[in-house]
Amino acid sequence: MTETSLRLGGGMRQCAESESDWLNAHVYYHGDRTALVVEAIAPLMRECLATGLSDGWFFLRDRVGGPHVRLRILPAHPDARAGLQRVVADRLTGYLSVGRPSTVATIPQQYDVPPAAANMADHAGLPQPNNAVVFQPYRRERDRYGDGFAVQAVERHFTESSAVAAALLASPGWPERRVTVGFCLLLLTWVCGQPDLKALVRQAATSPQGWSWTLVGSSIEDPDVERDFRERYEIRRDGLLALADDVRRIAARAEAGKGTASLSAWARSVVILRKRLAHLVAAGHFTPSAVGAPGKPTAEEAATAEQEAAAGPGEPNGHAEAEVFRVLDSCAHLVCNRLDINLHGESYLRYLAARAATDLAERER
């Protein structure tokens, strides 16, 4: 397996104490959003880092209100905020109006807006203009990532994840490598989150829906879909297991702080985040997520977490490790979003990765 060479330059140089420290630009664009990231957003963000306007950035794709990229940028200092916002607005508006304007508008019925998201306060689900830059307040997902040092650690990872994703999107032959790289990133996240394969498989067995579907909030109800995934895995099994062995070697190097290529950079970021969150759990500064959404704890898990919190700080236990793993898995889901891997494609990759991990564990018995 050949990795794209990458030296991370997008990591945060400081932490954002408040969510209001971030600039949040929604770049509405009904054209090729990968081109938008590669040709406009990533070069601009590298320039802002180099000139001292910004200390970090990250992005996500979304369709609520129309296809767009959500770009979060941390000003280097409060006095840089107005200038940074002006530069971002001018440069991206120029790209959208002159550089590569989108000429095909997506109709609202094609936005694929989830009902819950349609009521979000930042745009009330209303269609937004194509080829537009709209600044909105940034809202942290405290129910998923906590607050204080915990969410700051996650945001730091997001900046590193975005640098990895931007480099991969710009790499030669990217579309043909998307499935292979996506498989590796998902499995790499799991192995970095739980290096013990047998423990990893046991953790998978406790998931009510299974790894491949937990984050996307669905299950394999159509036997034809499950059969298709199974047959495709069996055809590619030997090659996938060879890739999985490579992934484990990359994860081992990441634990030692080694490696600069794209997958290695991703692995190091995941390992660092895992250690930071585990430390915060042990210190009593990171508590379980809210109950109710796919990929979040059950009511029983939440009750257990409350008992552990009442007992005071201590060494991370099984539930705490599972909570940290859940955050890492959410980060794997978000890098798939950054790489334009849709939910069905991600579910397929999760199925492949889960089967490969299980087969490797069986092989080592």
> What is the pLDDT, as a whole number, of residue 107?
60
Let me know whether 113 and 247 are in one domain: no
Let me know whether 59 and 194 are in one domain: no
Let me know whether 191 and 321 are in one domain: yes
> What is the pLDDT, as a whole number, of residue 295?
41
pLDDT tens digit sequence for 142-186? 888 888 899 999 999 999 999 999 999 999 999 999 999 999 999
Let me know whether 126 and 151 are in one domain: no
Is residue 148 within 8 Å of residue 286, measured between CB atoms?
no
Which of 283-292, 298-307, 311-320, 333-342 holds the top average pLDDT?
Answer: 333-342
Task: Write out the two tokens for 133.
Answer: 């830059």
Q: How many domains does the chain have?
A: 2
- Is residue 257, in this structure, part of any structural domain at all? yes
Task: Write out the two tokens for 20.
Answer: 């209001």
Beta strand ranges found along the chain (DSSP E): 23-28, 54-62, 68-75, 132-135
Q: How far apart are CA 81 and CA 60, in angstroms?
A: 21
The last residue of one of the domains, among 121, 137, 153, is 137
pLDDT tens digit sequence for 208-232? 445 554 444 445 556 788 888 899 9
Is residue 66 within 8 Å of residue 27, measured between CB atoms?
no
Domain span holding position 133:
23-137
Q: Mean pLDDT, the chain, as a whole number?
A: 82
Is residue 273 within 8 Å of residue 328, measured between CB atoms?
yes
pLDDT tens digit sequence for 174-203? 999 999 999 999 999 999 999 888 888 877
- Is residue 81, in this structure, part of any structural domain at all? yes
The CA-atom distances, in angstroms, between 216 and each of 54, 233, 333, 344 are: 33, 20, 9, 8
Q: Which residues pair with 58 in a beta bridge?
A: 72
Residue 145 identity (one-letter amino acid): Y
Averaged pLDDT for residues 281-287: 82
- 70 backbone dihedrals φ, ψ, rounded to 5°: -95, 115
Let me know whether 110 and 193 are in one domain: no
pLDDT tens digit sequence for 118-134? 444 344 467 889 999 99
Let me know whether 76 and 216 are in one domain: no
Give the list of residues 6+ apart from residue 134 with CB closer than 8 angstroms, or none.
25, 26, 28, 123, 128
Residue 34 identity (one-letter amino acid): T
Q: How far apart are CA 214 and CA 327, in angstroms?
A: 12
One-character DSSP codes across 48-73: HHHTTSEEEEEEEEE-TTSSEEEEEE
- Is residue 16, in this structure, part of any structural domain at all? no
Residue 325 identity (one-letter amino acid): F
Let me know whether 104 and 189 are in one domain: no
- Is residue 93, in this structure, part of any structural domain at all? yes
Let me know whether 223 and 84 are in one domain: no
Q: How far apart are CA 276 and CA 263, in angstroms?
A: 20
pLDDT tens digit sequence for 216-272? 444 555 678 888 889 999 999 999 999 999 999 999 999 877 766 899 999 999 999
Let me know whether 60 and 209 are in one domain: no
Q: How far apart are the first and last CA of the chain?
A: 26
Let me know whether 87 and 152 are in one domain: no
